[in-house]
Structure 1
Amino acid sequence: MGFVDGKIVEEFFEGKVFPKTLLPRNTCDLVEMVRSDREWLSDLLQQHGAILFRGFKVSSAQDFARVVEAFKWDDMPYMGIASRVKVDDRIYTANEAPLHHFLNFHHEMSLLKEFPSKIFFCCLEPSPEGGETSILPSHIIVEKMEELMPDFVAKLSQVGFIFRIRTATDADSGDKVISKTWKEVLKTNDQVEAEKRALEKLACDSVEFHADGSAEFIFGPMDPIRELGGRRVWFKPMLGYTSNDKDVKISFGDGSPFPREAIEAYKKILDKNYVDLSWQKGDVLLVDNLSIQHARRPGKPPRVVLVSICK
């Protein structure tokens, strides 16, 4: 085994260091090291939820693609409301939203019928200020919400909740997190076909089209808590991807509003249990999407982080 335990400013959850950081011992060929220790790395990911590979010579999208391929997990194409650019086979840019926006915690593609089990991130150029990727064990949210708001969680399990997310309009500028129109998301200009694709791919229950060119995808009633990988995790987003309340609306499945104190409790749990990863050039972060949520802190350009997702 050619890896050496590394050290960043780490947190421990249930006795497990988070994220697990691995450095090279006597070689920087991460591809060969992954091929040699693939099963061990897979087990390590299950134990820790996230692995940071630091100090390896991963300097291009092609280098990153070879690392991803070395794990031999099936590729999964990206689909969603965020703008991304495909730069190589299996490789996309991270969310193209302007860097001054905070991107809230979420599981990748959790509102789709088919979602990835694993996500790779690779930093080719760290932000000169800010721009950290934050990670958080999702089962912690369930445990803390059941402690702080047991009646709220019980009602959620009984009636579920409804999540409404609104796409960009035809006239929106690029200075938004949700920057795609429904036509771009669903790759059609026809509303009938768009609704059919949304119900097939997005796992939404209905679609509403608006005169300004936007559409609302309506999910639920659904339970945000799911059992994945042997743990109960808060898998469906209770908050929007941004702080803009116009982009997302939430309510109980019976139509009643969420109590403000429940939303505040949820936000406090997020604020107290995350780990910020300050990127270094060449870093590769592997995240278990079934157990870990991720977010992006505001930063300044230039910042180049690439992403690959696996079934």
Structure 2
Amino acid sequence: MKPMLPEGLERTLITPFLVMFSPLTEADKSELGRLCRENHDYFMDQVNQHGGILFRGFTAPGSDEFDLFVNEQLQLAPWNSFNSKGTPTFVANWLRKWSEKILGAGDYRRYLGKSTVRLGPVENSIQGPHVEGGGLPQRSRYLALCCQQPGEYQAETGMADFSSVIDRLPAALQEKFLKGWNKYSYTTARPLGWLDKLILNLSPMAVEVKEDGHGILTGKLCPAACYVPETDSIAVQPWSFARNANGQVHKAAQAVFHDRGEIIRDSTADALNMNWDLVDENGDSLGWSEEEQYQFFHTIFSEAHLMAWQKGDVALIDNVRLGHWRMNGIQGNRQLIQVQANPFNVLEHLVHSGTESDEEPALA
């Protein structure tokens, strides 16, 4: 028998993939920690069944407490895909700033602790849809988010159920995502120095130094789609920060979100000299035309839910099944923090052969 809705809560289905829980009385507002700890199985069942849950109307934990809240109350294991070794905060922020300089762009998020991150600022653009850490074979399974202050105007978080995207794509593009791999390669914004090379030798990326001293950094191939463990549905796994796809992200955003005023191109993707291709397991391109890119992003944007954050909101999201992106708007004093949790190896949930595997493709 599945666990029942805990007492003191009102449950509201916002979309098929997002469920909201609110306190019934003023006295229940301070009970979020206890409710999460005592009803862990119920809430995780709701996440696995739908994709995400939102707690609204409670007294939320502060930024210093959020890591502890995720660990002890939600009973998850904080694990950041970009800081998987738990590097101390000042070192993690230094590396983040270094990577932004060497790659020529970044979304300027900053670590408040080993796991808690303050997300980047809003500009009047829309990001490409992605799963967090989607450029890496091992990414976080869950995202815990807390809104300490919403944006001044718009600045929502767009969300979509990536497990429903495959069935809505044209047959040829559907086949590419089912059998394909994401290949991401960067050209550095400046020539590589000795310290750059030393740090990059410790990274999972292959490094090729060009005659002009700039580097071409190629990541390991990542499946373009994978199985969602609890449902056996298939979810696409994009990480849409590439310059070669940014024009089609912008075009699709303008078409779908036509009532939001002017939308500029995402400056991060334009500045980041990254190429995203769909390839086979040997790294050979399957073709990734601008029309296919537009169809892909338009499909995702067309069924998006725009999360209009309220102060104190806490959300828990399946980072494999649900994709997200930052919407355009006015930043104001927007403060959104995130903790990634529970490592997930996408190579163990392949759809290419119809079986699970932990083997990497020929090109890695």
- Normalising by the smaller structure, the TM-score range is 0.7 to 0.9
Q: Which residue of 258, 264, 267 maps to 2:288?
A: 258
- Range 63-72 or range 285-294, more displaced: 63-72
TM-score (norm 2): 0.68
What secondary structure is seen at the aligned counterpart in 2 of 1:117? strand
Which residue is equivalent to 1:178?
none
Q: Which one-letter code corresponds to 1:53 in the other structure?
A: F
For the residue of structure 2 that corresponds to 1:307, the secondary structure is: strand
Verify the 8 A CA contact 1:135 1:275 in the aligned structure 2: yes
Please state if 1:189 is matched with 2:191: no
CA distance in 1, matches of 2:34, 2:309: 23
Q: What secondary structure is seen at the aligned counterpart in 1 of 2:117? A: strand
Structure 1 residue 309: deviation in Å?
0.8
Aligned to 2:115: 90
Structure 1 residues 246 and 164 mapped into 2: Cα distance closer, same or farther (>3 Å)?
A: farther
Aligned residue pairs, count = 280
Give the ranges of 4+ consecutive aligned residues of structure 1 lying more than 6 Å apart after TM superposition: 210-214
For the pair 1:309 / 2:340, whether they are aligned, the reply is yes
Q: Secondary structure at the match of 1:32?
A: helix
- Paired residues for 1:214-293 under 5 Å: 215-219=215-219, 222-229=222-229, 230-237=232-239, 240=242, 243=266, 244-245=269-270, 247=272, 248-253=274-279, 254-255=284-285, 257-293=287-323
Cα offset for 1:48? 1.1
Moved more, 222-231 or 272-281: 222-231
Q: Equivalents in 2 of 1:58, 1:143: separation in Å? A: 38
Please, which runs of 5 or more residues in structure 1 have no aligned partner?
13-17, 171-181
Residue aligned with 1:35, SS: helix
Counterparts of 2:213 and 2:121, CA distance in 1: 20
Q: Give the superposition deviation at 1:216.
A: 4.0
* 1:47 maps to amino acid: Q
Q: Cα–Cα, structure 1 residues 165 and 141, in superposed 2: closer, same or farther, change >3 Å? A: farther
Q: Structure 1 residue 252: deviation in Å?
A: 4.3
Q: Hey, what's the Cα distance between the residues in 1 that align with 2:54 and 2:156? A: 13
* Equivalent runs, 1:75-154 vs 2, <5 Å: 75-79=78-82, 82-88=107-113, 90-94=115-119, 96-145=120-169, 148=170, 150-154=171-175
Measure the CA separation in 2 of the matches of 1:310 and 1:99. Answer: 27
**TM-score, normalisation: structure 1:** 0.78
Q: Is the 8 A contact 2:78 2:341 kept in 1?
A: yes
Aligned to 1:207: 207
Structure 1 47/224 Cα, relative in aligned 2: closer, same or farther at 3 Å?
Answer: same
- 1:232 is matched by which residue type in structure 2? I
Mark the runs of 5 or more structure 2 residues left unpaired by the alignment.
1-5, 83-95, 97-105, 247-265, 343-364
> For residues 57-91 of structure 1, what are the alpha-carbon distances to aligned partners after superposition, in whole Å with 9 as ceiling and x for unaligned?
11621343343131121121351764322224631
Residue 189 of structure 1 aligns to which amino acid in structure 2? Answer: L
Q: Describe the shift of the 1:155–1:88 C-alpha distance in structure 2 as closer, same or farther (beyond 3 A).
A: closer
CA spacing shift, 1:78–1:129, aligned 2, 3 Å? same
Separation in 2 of the partners of 1:213 and 1:133?
38
Contact 2:143 2:319 in 1 (8 A): yes
Q: Tell me the SS of whatever aligns to 2:202.
A: helix
Q: CA deviation at 1:36?
A: 1.1
Are 2:225 and 2:235, in contact at CA under 8 Å, matched by a contact in 1?
yes
Q: Deviations over 1:159-204 (max 9, x none)?
A: 645332455559xxxxxxxxxxx99xxxx9241x3343232xxxx4
**C-alpha separation in 2, matches of 1:250 and 1:198:** 19
- SS of 2:143 mapped into structure 1: strand
| RMSD of aligned Cα (Å) | 3.0
Q: Between the two structures, name the one with larger relative contact order (CA 8 Å, sep ≥ 6).
A: 1
Is 1:71 the equivalent of 2:74? yes
Q: Distance in 2 between matches of 1:22 and 1:53?
A: 5
